[in-house]
Amino acid sequence: MADRRKVAAVTPASENNQENERQFMDKNNVTGMIKDLLTKIIANRPDDPISFIANYFETMTLDDQSNDLVNRAVQVLNLTHHSRPVFESNMRSAFSILSRYKITKKLHGVNGTVHSLLMQALCKKLPSAVTIRLFKRLECGEYEAVTYDVFRSSVFTCCVLNDYIAMCGNLFDMLDLQKTGKADKNLCEAALEQLRTALASTRTDVKR
């Protein structure tokens, strides 16, 4: 009899605790965040899921200052390679994040200033000689409103250029057989000839 009273006394408290836990989860949208995270993991299929999860939660702790918005947008763009279909969705998310940039007290959006900050962040690993010429082509006026199409074109340009520079670096390392920082001239000319042949063949196939 005493045992039954003890169980009866404990059960309501346990139910209240469970209810409070559910309320806590709902109030802080924990369940929604976890569902969103799992959806993004499945869509992006990252090579390193742990780093992906860490970056996801890091983006949620940033403020709405311009640099933080840019950092958050860059992290979203880096979730997956630009060749994957889900990258389009990530770009829209990044643009939405940058749209919170405060231009005036009542006006928010993506202007030339925040656009330039994003381009600099995306191309920070590129040689300065390359980025200077690139930014001249992609540059928008400081107070110019940047549309999604302009944003999308700029992001793709930066991503493709990053890939190109990385591939060039890898090719140079392969041709630098002695690891002296200088590639053999004959090997370079042979490699360039192979690239020209491949490009010519590709153009012929396209025309067909």
**Count of structural domains, the chain:** 2
Note the pTM of the prediction, 2 decimals: 0.64
The tens-digit pLDDT sequence of the chain (208 residues) is 555 555 555 455 555 555 577 777 766 677 777 777 787 788 778 788 888 787 777 666 555 455 688 988 998 998 889 999 989 999 999 999 999 888 777 888 898 889 999 999 999 988 888 888 998 888 888 888 999 999 999 999 999 999 999 998 888 888 888 888 888 888 888 888 888 888 887 666 555 5
Q: Is 91 a domain residue?
A: yes
Q: Give residue 38's domain range.
A: 1-44
Instruction: Enumerate residues 6+ apart whose C-beta is below 8 A from 25.
Output: 31
Q: Which two tokens stand for residue 204?
A: 């012929």
Q: Looking at the structure, do residues 19 and 63 belong to the same domain, yes or no? A: no
Do 61 and 133 belong together in one domain?
A: yes
- Note whether residue 196 is domain-resident: no
Residues 6+ apart with CB under 8 A from 122: 74, 77, 155, 158, 159, 162
